[in-house]
Every structure is written in C-alpha cells, then in structure tokens.
Amino acid sequence: MPFYLAVFAFGAIIGSFLNVCIYRIPTGKSIVTPPSSCPSCGSPVKPYDNIPVISWLLLGGKCRSCKSGISARYPLVEALNGALWCAVFLRFEPDFTSAAIYAVLLSALVVITFIDLDHQIIPDSISIPGIPIGIVLGSFFLSDPFMPSEQLGWTSSAAGAALGFGLYYIIAVASRGGMGGGDIKLMGMLGGFLGWKGVLLTTFVGSLAGSVVGLGLVLFSGAGRKTKVPFGPFLALGGAVSIFYGQELLNWYLSHGWR
C-alpha cells in the first residue's frame, strides 16, 4: 500500500506538469519557463499553493491573490494521472519497466485528449517523436499488453506503427479529410507502443465509443452531421483499454469468437 500511495502522489505531481502542457503547448509557449501563474491575474503560484489536488481544495478552487475561480480540470487531471499510474503499475507488477513506460504513455494520452477537446488538434511535438520512441521501447523493453508474460518485440512493434499510420492514412484519403493528420500520427505512435493487435483493438474501441457519443450528441444536444467531434480522445481511450484489458479481451475473443 505505501508503494502505491507513493506512485499516486508522484503521478499527481506529474499531472500538475501535464496541466502546464495542456495549457501551453497549443499556444507555442515553453512548458519549462516561466513558472506557473494564475490565468486571471498573472500572479506566480507559490510552491505551497501548487500541491496537487490538495492546494485546490484548500483554496476553494480560487486564486489566493485575486480570488478568481480556478478550473476544476486542474485537480481532475492531477488525480486522473495519479490513478492511471497506480493502475498501470498494478497491472504489470512486477514488470516495473513496462509499467513505467506505459505510465508515461498514458500521461501523453491525457495531454493529447484535453488538447484535442479544447483545440481539435493533436500536437506533432508528442506524436511524431512518439513513433520512433514507441518502436525502440516496444522492441527492447516493453511487455506485450495482450500477453504480459512475453515481450512485445521488434516485429509486433514495427508492424503496429506501420499498420496504425498506414491504416489511418488510407482512411483519411478515402474519406477525403474525414480523418485528421493528427489521428494518423497518433495511431502510428500507439502502434509502436502497443503492437498491431493494439491498433486493431484501439480502432474498435475508439470507433465504438465515438459512435455512441456522436449519436448521443445528435439525439440530446441537437448536433448535426457536420458537427466536428475530435477523434483523438476516443483513440486515447482505445489505447488505454488495450493497455489494461488487452489480454482479457483477447482471451474472451478466442473463446467466444467465430468458429
């Protein structure tokens, strides 16, 4: 238990940094300097007011200086990242190398999700370097999320990156812009980390979740066919499902699939 409390705390601290990335990357600002400040009055955030989740609660969700409201998204991202880190270390125990790598991948997916929701873009600064990084780590260090007792390996990792990028490129061309370039590069990155089976499951889960949400928007919010719904968050969800439940879903399919 103390280990996972420490993992949650560290994950929440990283989550605080993710908030900086979500806010600054789309604007082209440095994610290193200057230090965090209030979005309303610009006052620098004191170290004792920058404790993940706790500081927001103690301040009542307001800036100490100007009393302006601070979005609940900040503690949400911090708590979410801490919880994801705990879950992935529990999932891959005792393979802490794979757990640490997948924890960082999940953090990247958190950043991608919120940026895509806000701006309908997926930053190249994350996805493009993520493709070769995913292939290298997948080739030499990562366990296969569909068979955690085995290494992902070069063949599956490279095939996953090629399949993810190629499949979504074909979809983008066939749909004449219905799929964004950011989604193509994101799937190339996820394929490198998750392998070709991860690309297939991510695509299935992402498409299913996107269809359900899209239908809900049409039925309950009056959205039309031309309403733009970012697909990145659904692909991120599919990637997370592959990491946490890939083995169980593969076993279920093999035992209940077509015969």
Question: Average pLDDT in the 41-53 region?
Answer: 90
Question: Average pLDDT in the 163-189 region?
Answer: 91
Confidence of residue 1 (pLDDT cuts 50, 70, 90): confident
Tell me the two tokens of residue 20.
């900086």
Q: Is the pLDDT of residue 224 over 70?
A: no
Report pLDDT for 252. Answer: 87
Encode pLDDT of 66-109 as tens digits.
999 999 999 999 999 999 999 999 999 889 999 999 999 999 99
The strand pairing partners of 143, in sequence order, are 151
Higher model confidence: residue 191 or residue 222?
Answer: 191
Report pLDDT for 217. Answer: 83
Encode pLDDT of 237-249 as tens digits.
999 999 999 999 8
Instruction: Give residue 80's Cα distance to chain centre.
Output: 11
Compute and round to an integer the Cα radius of gyration of the chain: 19
Between CA 2 and CA 242 the distance in angstroms is: 27
Q: Where are the domains of the chain?
A: 1-93, 95-259
Encode pLDDT of 3-35 as tens digits.
999 999 999 999 999 999 999 999 999 998 888
**DSSP readout, 21-54?**
HHHHGGGT--SSSS--B-TTT-PBPPGGG-STTH
Report pLDDT for 226. Answer: 67
Confidence of residue 228 (pLDDT cuts 50, 70, 90): confident
Structural contact between residues 143 and 132, judged by C-beta atoms closer than 8 angstroms: no
Query: What pTM was computed for the model?
Result: 0.94
Report pLDDT for 225. Answer: 64
Question: What share of the chain has pLDDT > 70, as a percent?
Answer: 97
Question: Average pLDDT in the 210-224 region?
Answer: 82
Closest CA to 183 of 121, 94, 253: 121
